[in-house]
Amino acid sequence: MSKPKLIRITTVPVSLDKLLEGQLAFMKEYFNILAVSSDKNYLEKIGLREGVNTYTIELTRKITPVKDIRALYKMYRLFLKEKPFIVHTHTPKAGTIGMVAAWLANVPHRLHTIAGLPLLETKGIKRYILTAVEKATYACATDIYSNSYGLYKIILDNNFLSPNKIKVLGHGSSNGINLSFFNPRLFDSKFKKKIKDKFNIQENDYVFIYVGRVVKNKGINELVRAFSELQLIYRDIKLLLVGTFENDLDPLSEYTYNQIQINKNIIYTGYQTDVRPFLAIAKLFVFPSYREGFPNVVMQAGAMGLPSIVTDINGCNEIIKNKKNGIIIPPKNAEILKGKMELLLLDKNLYRTLQKNTRKMIASRYQQQLIWDELLCEYRKLN
């Protein structure tokens, strides 16, 4: 008996690579899987790793009407040809185009996972357009999954869809965390010294770390300002920024950008395929984002034994419990952020209390296999 066809779609392949790593390989035991995204070369590498077929459709993260219509037509034609049992989309643009095309092609099961709402940080006509597009995505889907309970509440509070169409799997997250991979014991002192030497980090330096897109809505302006002011008092501190700029989509302030370029204690690494070595040499993870779905990096930091400072937004305030495995602060407030960074720099007893809970709190709620099994159970309910 042939396996039912499952098509998984993201806007860009890095989402398949980093946000859903290993999940397609697990699901291929039960489904005939086709992974769809943009960037043919990158996508094919993921297909080889996961052992699944791939198909390239160029999707953009911006509002590009002509390209979007072209992608919609190609997606529709693909579904007519492949006749999938399930189409499951992730990320906003892939969700909209994938769900509309699947509805037009009469795909029986149209699933979309919400991992964030960009419209929350927009205003005016752009917010109106994004809201309309989001509602269209949900209307064309048969089932919606929110990857956090906070996001679930926001969606219902805004009347984007009815409660019987949306759910959260387990404790949240799209893919959980691989605790064997994100394990601080994999990195000994010799390895960590090598990384520190490479970036001119001294043995006694207190290293703050941020991992993610280096953009305004991740709170980088506030983080850089807080760190720069702390540095005037404490000389033996460093800030690691691991990620990429997106100056065309969400640029930083001129002050922040200049500080990153000229401040020798702010270390910008650029994009890294493996963030574990950087988490291994850090003391504290700082993630002052304005909006999230369910941030994998906060789980990864916790699995690597790092307490976190996060903002009081959905996802972050579900992974982090205040004063248990981290500190929760209001978003967009550099002064409070600075105060909590200083608190954990100085208060060693509080730091140790938080640190001892970090990995075990992640392990108890977000082990990867738990998330995969929950999703497989959802797929098997469909008929």
- 41-64 residue pLDDT tens: 999 999 999 999 999 999 998 888
% the chain with pLDDT above 90:
88
At residue 81, the pLDDT reads 98
At residue 372, the pLDDT reads 96
Q: Which two tokens stand for residue 303?
A: 């699995």
At residue 175, the pLDDT reads 95
Q: What is the dihedral of CA 142, 33, 15, 26, to 10 degrees?
A: 100
Whole-angstrom Cα distance, residue 358 to residue 352? 10
Per-residue DSSP letter, 253: P
C-alpha triplet 127, 153, 243: angle, nearest 5°: 65
Tell how far CA 214 is from the center of its chain: 13
Whole-angstrom Cα distance, residue 313 to residue 294? 10
Whole-angstrom Cα distance, residue 72 to residue 299? 34
pLDDT band, residue 126 (cuts 50/70/90): confident
At residue 377, the pLDDT reads 96
Number of H helices, E strands in the chain: 16, 13
pLDDT exceeds cutoff 80 at 103: yes
pLDDT digits (tens, 9 = 90+) for 257-278: 999 999 999 999 999 999 999 9
The arithmetic mean of pLDDT across residues 171-176, rounded, is 93
At residue 51, the pLDDT reads 98
pLDDT exceeds cutoff 90 at 293: no
Whole-angstrom Cα distance, residue 189 to residue 319? 28
At residue 130, the pLDDT reads 82
At residue 63, the pLDDT reads 80
Q: Which two tokens stand for residue 298?
A: 């906060």
At residue 118, the pLDDT reads 73
pLDDT exceeds cutoff 90 at 248: no
Q: Which two tokens stand for residue 106?
A: 């009469």
pLDDT exceeds cutoff 80 at 77: yes
Is the separation of the CB atoms in 236 and 206 below 8 Å? yes
Is the separation of the CB atoms in 175 and 368 below 8 Å? yes
pLDDT band, residue 117 (cuts 50/70/90): confident
What is the biggest distance separating any 2 CA atoms in the chain, rounded to whole angstroms? 69
At residue 275, the pLDDT reads 97
Q: Give the residue carrying structure tokens 């963030």.
A: 275
Q: Mean pLDDT for the chain?
A: 95
